């Protein structure tokens, strides 16, 4: 049977996971990553490793695009695909990526044309709610 312990790595490269985790923390914030790690069990540890090594180490760390650009594209894809929970998480992450509320609005306008008005309508609702929560929490500016 496969080792499903949280210590088992999909890539076998603790260095890669550490770098991926650093990127994940920079974008999503320590609190989010700490919650995700605390909730990780032997069952989903390989999945968490996959996310950290693949998305955060290999994709988000690539130099061709800025963090802001990746953030905007990620928001567009999540909106078009209807992934509301992940969309809210990435709207919240804009406080660390340099993407503004205006960027989010323009992105969702683009989604309306290329991903469909219903998807954009839902995404606008999610983004408005998330931005309002951020304002209420006093997180209008970027986190250090």
Q: What does pLDDT average to over the chain?
A: 89
Six-digit token string for 121 = 């309508």
Q: What is the DSSP string of 7-47?
A: T--SSS-HHHHHHHHHHHHHHH-HHHHHHHHHH--TTTHHH
- Residues 48-76 have pLDDT tens digits of 999 999 999 999 999 999 999 999 999 99
pLDDT in tens, 111-137: 999 999 999 999 999 999 999 999 999
Q: What Å distances lie between residue 61 and 41, 53, 66, 99, CA to CA? A: 26, 10, 9, 17
Distance CA 89, CA 28 (A): 8
CATH topology of domain 67-136: AhpD-like (1.20.1290)
Q: What are phi and psi of 59, to 5 degrees?
A: -105, -60
End-to-end CA distance of the chain: 43
Domain boundaries of the chain, sorted by first residue: 14-59, 67-136
* pTM of the complete model: 0.84
Task: Give dist(CA 37, CA 33) in Å, integer.
Answer: 6
């Amino acid at each position: 049977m496969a080792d499903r312990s949280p210590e088992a790595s999909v890539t076998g490269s603790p260095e890669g996971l550490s770098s991926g985790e650093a990127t994940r923390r920079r974008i999503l914030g320590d609190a989010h990553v700490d919650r995700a790690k605390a909730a990780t069990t032997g069952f989903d540890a390989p999945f968490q490793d996959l996310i950290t090594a693949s998305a955060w180490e290999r994709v988000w760390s690539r130099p061709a695009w800025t963090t802001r650009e990746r953030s905007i594209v990620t928001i567009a894809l999540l909106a078009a695909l209807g992934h509301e929970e992940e969309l809210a998480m990435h709207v919240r992450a804009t406080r660390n990526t340099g993407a503004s509320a205006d960027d989010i609005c323009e992105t969702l306008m683009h989604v309306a044309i290329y991903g469909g008005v219903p998807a954009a309508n839902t995404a606008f609702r999610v983004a408005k709610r998330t931005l309002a929560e951020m304002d209420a929490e006093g997180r209008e500016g970027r986190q250090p």
